[in-house]
Structure 1
C-alpha cells in the first residue's frame, strides 16, 4: 500500500467555506488545441468547491483510503521539524501545488527513500529538483493545461490594472476620496501599445489571443517558433530572443518555465534595455527576474509598473521588497488556483494517481520526468543543469 503525502495551502482564516458565490461551473471538456480535460475514473468532490486547501484534500481521501492507501495532508512544509519533512522519508508519492510548493530539493529526494512519484497539482514543476528526480528514478508529473487559461486571464487583468492605474484608483474609493487627477495621472490606454510575451506556449499563446482584440501590436519570443498560420492570424512579430524583443515593447509578460536558461533572465542589464515606462508582468516564476533589479527599476522610474503572483520563496516573508516597492500589482500565487482551475487539477491529480496505482501509462502530456529522463511535456518545456552546460 502507498503513502501519499499531500502539501496544500491553509484553509481560509474564517474557516472552510460552507457556501459559495456561485452554484456551478461552466462545463469544459477540451482545451484549445484539442487536448481533453482530465478524465479520471471518478471524482469525490463538487466542482467549484475549495479543493486546494488542507480541508479540501483535492478530493482524494475517499478514493485513496477505499483502496487501502494512506493520505497525509498538511500545509506545514518549511522549517526544521515541519510535518512535510517528518512524513517524507517513507512517502511513496508527494503531491504539491505551485502556489504553496513543497520544495523537493536534492537533499530531500535523497532522504525520501520510498519516493517514486512527485505530482504537481497544477502546472510548473520547478519546485522539484529535476536533476535529482532523474538520478533517483522518480517520476514527475503535472496536470498540463489545467490552469493555463486561468493564468492567461490573470495576465490580461494585471496588464489592464497596471496600465489603467486601477488599483490606486480603487484605493481612493475605499478611502472615501474622489481624487480624479490622482487616479488618472498614471493612467493610459492599452490600445496601440506593443505587447510581447517571453514564451508562447499554452499560456503565452492564450495571452496573445486574448489581447488581440485590444488592437495592440503583438510580439513573442520562444525557442519553438509558432506556425506561420498562427503568426499571420494574430499579426505576431517573432524575435529570436528576449533581448531582441523587449526594447520594442510597452508591456512584457513572462510565460516561460523556470530552468537554468531562464533563471535570472530579467536582471539590471536586460531591464535597462526596456523602454522607460514599460510594464513587466510575471505570472511564470519569480526567479526568472532578479528580485532587487525589479525593485530598483520601479524606484528609479525605469519601469512604470510590475505585477505578478509568483514570489521566491513562497510564501514570501513580510519584509520581501516586492511587498513595498512602488507601482506594483502583486498578488499571492493565485492566478492558477481559481475554483474553476481547482476542479480540473484535482481531477487531473486523481487521473495521474489512478494510472500510477493501476500500473497503466500516465498521459504523455502530464509527464515531466519518467524512466530517468525528461519526458512528455518536460522534454519540450524544461532543460536540466546538464543540458544547460552542454
Structure 2
C-alpha cells in the first residue's frame, strides 16, 4: 500500500474559480499539486481549524489577501516550509516564519523571460499608443481614421535606462539590444565587463545620470528598504519631459503621489504600470483618471507555462523542506 500523501495548504476555493491574479489556483496548477500532495484549501481550514495539524507545507503569494497565515501559525504546528509564488518576498515576514522553524523559498529564474517580455510589451504599448489606438479602432462612432492624431514615439534607437540589472534586468537588456537601443543601467554593483559588452550596456553609478539621458526607464529592481520610494519628486525632475516610465517590479518603489504630479505637470510623458500600491488601487485613485497611464493587473509573469514552472519550483522546495533537506531556493531573513 502506498504511503499517504503529505498535506499542503493553498488559498481559498472561491479564489480559484477566478484567475491567479486574485491568488487562486487554476485547474492546471491544482492538478500539478495533487500529483504529489493532498490539498487543504484555506476555506476548509477556516471551517475546521483542526485540519491545520495535517499541514507540512504551504503555497503562499502576495495576491492571497484572504489567507491570514501569519496570524494563524499556531494552528499549523507541523508546518515546515512555505513556498512563495514569485521572486519578491517583501510581503513575507521571513523572520516570523523562521522563528517558528519554518523555512521560506521563492521562485527565481523561471519567470525572468515572461517579466522581461511584459516590460517590453508595456514599453511598446505606451510608446505607440496601443490602448488609445484600440479605443479609436473600436469606437462605434468612428467612420474614418484621423490623420496623424495618434502619433507615437520610436522605441528603436532610443535610450533605455534599466533600474536594477539583475536577471530580469539582463533579460530586458537582451530584448532592447534587438531594438538597437542604447542601454544604460543602474545597479548596486557593476556587471562584469563581459556581460556589459554582450549587451552593449553602460553602467551609471548615479541614478540621476541615467534618468537624465533615458527615453524609457524600466524598473526591475527588488523592493527593499533602500528602494522604497526610490522614485520621488527629485527623480521625476531629473527625467526627460518625453520619458516613459515602466514598472514591472513593485509598486512601493515609486512614490505614487509624486508620479501623479509628474504626469499631470508634464515632468514626464507617460507611465506604464504592472504594479501599484495597493493592488488594486482604490477606484477613486487619481492615477486611474490620467490619460497618460496604462495599467496591467500585476501579470508580468502570468503565462501558463511560466506559472506552471513556478508551481513546480515551489513543489521542489516544499518537498525538500518536508524531508528536512536544504531548500533549492531558500530566502533568508534580512538582518
Q: Same fold (TM over 0.5)?
A: yes
Q: Residues 111 and 243 from structure 1, CA distance in 2 versus in 1: closer, same or farther, beyond 3 angstroms?
A: farther
Q: Separation in 2 of the partners of 1:88 and 1:305?
A: 50
Q: Separation in 1 of the partners of 2:153 and 2:52?
A: 54
Task: Give the CA RMSD over aligned residues.
Answer: 3.1
Aligned counterpart in structure 2 of residue 53 of structure 1, from 1, 18, 25:
25
Aligned counterpart in structure 1 of residue 103 of structure 2, from 121, 133, 139:
139
Counterpart of 1:327?
292
Q: 1:207-252 CA distances to partner (integer Å, 9 max, x unpaired)? A: 0000102111100011132110111222211011323321121111
Aligned counterpart in structure 2 of residue 158 of structure 1, from 122, 125, 138:
122
2:75 is aligned with 1:71: no
Q: Secondary structure at the match of 1:334?
A: coil
Counterpart of 1:196?
161
Q: Residues 153 and 88 from structure 1, CA distance in 2 versus in 1: closer, same or farther, beyond 3 angstroms?
A: farther
Q: 1:100-134 CA distances to partner (integer Å, 9 max, x unpaired)? A: 24499996377666353221122211110234344
Q: Is the 8 A contact 2:105 2:330 kept in 1?
A: yes
Displacement of 1:280: 0.6
Q: Is the 8 A contact 2:82 2:318 kept in 1?
A: no
Q: Secondary structure at the match of 1:329?
A: strand
Q: Separation in 1 of the partners of 2:180 and 2:24?
A: 36
Q: Residues 265 and 240 from structure 1, CA distance in 2 versus in 1: closer, same or farther, beyond 3 angstroms?
A: same
Q: Separation in 2 of the partners of 1:202 and 1:288?
A: 18
Aligned counterpart in structure 2 of residue 210 of structure 1, from 150, 161, 175:
175
Q: Secondary structure at the match of 1:204?
A: helix
Q: Residues 244 and 135 from structure 1, CA distance in 2 versus in 1: closer, same or farther, beyond 3 angstroms?
A: farther
Counterpart of 2:247?
282
Counterpart of 1:7?
11
Q: Residues 134 and 354 from structure 1, CA distance in 2 versus in 1: closer, same or farther, beyond 3 angstroms?
A: closer
Q: Name the count of aligned residue pairs.
A: 321
Aligned counterpart in structure 1 of residue 308 of structure 2, from 319, 338, 343:
343
Q: Is the 8 A contact 1:101 1:127 kept in 2?
A: no
TM-score with structure 2 length normalisation? 0.84
Q: Residues 12 and 299 from structure 1, CA distance in 2 versus in 1: closer, same or farther, beyond 3 angstroms?
A: farther
Q: Is the 8 A contact 2:10 2:41 kept in 1?
A: yes
- Identify unmatched segments of 5+ residues in structure 2: none
Q: Separation in 2 of the partners of 1:237 and 1:222?
A: 11
Aligned counterpart in structure 2 of residue 182 of structure 1, from 123, 139, 149:
149
Q: Secondary structure at the match of 1:265?
A: coil
Query: What does 1:287-366 correspond to in 2, within 5 Å?
Result: 287-363=252-328, 366=329
Q: Residues 106 and 64 from structure 1, CA distance in 2 versus in 1: closer, same or farther, beyond 3 angstroms?
A: closer
Q: Is the 8 A contact 1:89 1:112 kept in 2?
A: yes
Counterpart of 1:93?
57
Higher mean Cα deviation, 160-169 or 320-329? 320-329
Q: Separation in 1 of the partners of 2:232 and 2:225?
A: 14
Displacement of 1:2: 5.9
Q: Secondary structure at the match of 1:173?
A: helix
Counterpart of 2:331?
368
Higher mean Cα deviation, 202-211 or 103-112? 103-112
Displacement of 1:12: 6.0
Counterpart of 2:133?
169
Q: Secondary structure at the match of 2:175?
A: helix
Counterpart of 1:235?
200
Q: Separation in 2 of the partners of 1:323 and 1:12?
A: 27
Q: Is the 8 A contact 2:246 2:271 kept in 1?
A: yes
Aligned counterpart in structure 2 of residue 266 of structure 1, from 226, 231, 250:
231
Q: Separation in 2 of the partners of 1:111 and 1:239?
A: 48
Q: Separation in 2 of the partners of 1:199 and 1:103?
A: 31
Q: Separation in 1 of the partners of 2:298 and 2:224?
A: 19
